[in-house]
Every structure is written in C-alpha cells, then in structure tokens.
Structure 1
Amino acid sequence: MDDDKPVLDQVTDAGSSAATATAEAAKTVAKKVKKTARKAKKTVKKAVTKAAPKKKAKKAKKAGKKAGKKSSAKKSAKKAVKKTAKKAAKKTTKKKKKARKSKR
C-alpha cells in the first residue's frame, strides 16, 4: 500500500480494478461459450446430414417389423394347433393309465 494516497482512494482503485477484471473475465467466458456453441451447431449439422440416410433405413426396418407381426400371427396359430394336439395326447395317455389301473 502506498502511504502517499489516502486509504479511501486505495480502496476505490482496488474495487474498480477488480470490477474491470471481472468484466473482462465475463467477456472471455462469453466468447468461449459462443465458440463452443458454434462448434456444437456444426457437429449437430454434420450428425443430421449423416443421420438422414439412417432414417430411411429405420423406415425399412419398421416395414419389416410390420411384416414380422403378420408372421407372428401365423406362428401363434401354429402354436395353438400344437397346444391342442398336446392336450389331446395328454388326455389319451391319462385315459390309458386309468384303464390300466382299473384292470389291476
């Protein structure tokens, strides 16, 4: 501290220098944020242009899934037929077992 200057002047000088320093820091931060925002915007644009062909592929997959649903209906019909066949087989085996027991 300077002994020649009054304390009040020294405090005001320190306050103003701190204020200018914070203002400069805020400006640099704002610049960096803007720069990163621009970079992010560019990468998003690149990603969108690359993703556009993928969207077409997704549509094709969706169509494939719809076709798969139709085949799943066929599968469920086949399963139903198998289940009824199994149930019928179980019933006949039960009847046979009962007949054997009754013979004993």
Structure 2
Amino acid sequence: NKEEEEEEEEEEEEEEEEEEEEEEEEEEEEEEEEEEEEEEKEEKRRKRRKKKKKKRKKERKKERKKERKKERKRERTFD
C-alpha cells in the first residue's frame, strides 16, 4: 500500500513537471511569435520611410528641374 502511494506520488510529480515544461515551451513560442511580429512591423516601417524618402527626393529633383527651366527662360528674355 505504501509502495502504491509512493508510486502515485512519483507519477503526479512527473505529470506536474511535464505540464510545467509544456507551459514553458508555450510561453517561449508566444514570445518568439511576438518578436517576429515586432520585427515585421519594424521592417514595414523601414520600407515606408525608405519609400517616403525616395518620393521626397524625386519631388525635390523635379522642383529643381522646374526652377532651372524658369531660370533659363528668364535668361532668354534678357537677351
């Protein structure tokens, strides 16, 4: 009878340990998923910033071109 009790206790302890391990694994997985999501968000932000920067650069280039054109026109009118 005492042996049975000890055996049951051991089994319970093992089950508890297994449950704890499973919980830890689940937590780790959740953390990894969250990290991945954060990385994806950051990547999207970087891409948006890069795109905006490129757009601004293009706009400034266009603006300068326009200004040079106006300037040439003015110069011709003086001649």
TM over 0.5: yes
The higher radius of gyration belongs to 1
Q: After the TM superposition, which parts of structure 1 deviate over 6 Å for at least 4 consecutive aligned residues?
A: none
Structure 2 letter corresponding to 1:7: E
Local SS of the residue matching 2:48: helix
- Distance (whole Å) between structure 1 residues aligned to residue 28 and residue 40 of structure 2: 18
RMSD between aligned residues? 2.2
Structure 1 unaligned residues grouped into runs of 5+: 59-104
Shift of 1:13: 0.5
- Distance (whole Å) between structure 1 residues aligned to residue 46 and residue 76 of structure 2: 45
- Distance (whole Å) between structure 2 residues aligned to residue 55 and residue 7 of structure 1: 72
- Distance (whole Å) between structure 1 residues aligned to residue 61 and residue 75 of structure 2: 20
Equivalent residue number for residue 17 of structure 1 = 37
Structure 1 letter corresponding to 2:34: A
User: TM-score, with normalisation over the residues of structure 1?
Assistant: 0.46
Equivalent residue number for residue 61 of structure 2 = 41
Equivalent residue number for residue 89 of structure 1 = none
Q: Percent identity?
A: 18
Structure 2 unaligned residues grouped into runs of 5+: 1-22
Alignment of 1:1-104 (within 5 A): 6-55=26-75
- Distance (whole Å) between structure 2 residues aligned to residue 47 and residue 9 of structure 1: 57
- Distance (whole Å) between structure 1 residues aligned to residue 45 and residue 75 of structure 2: 44
User: TM-score, with normalisation over the residues of structure 2?
Assistant: 0.59
- Distance (whole Å) between structure 2 residues aligned to residue 33 and residue 19 of structure 1: 21
Shift of 1:53: 4.0
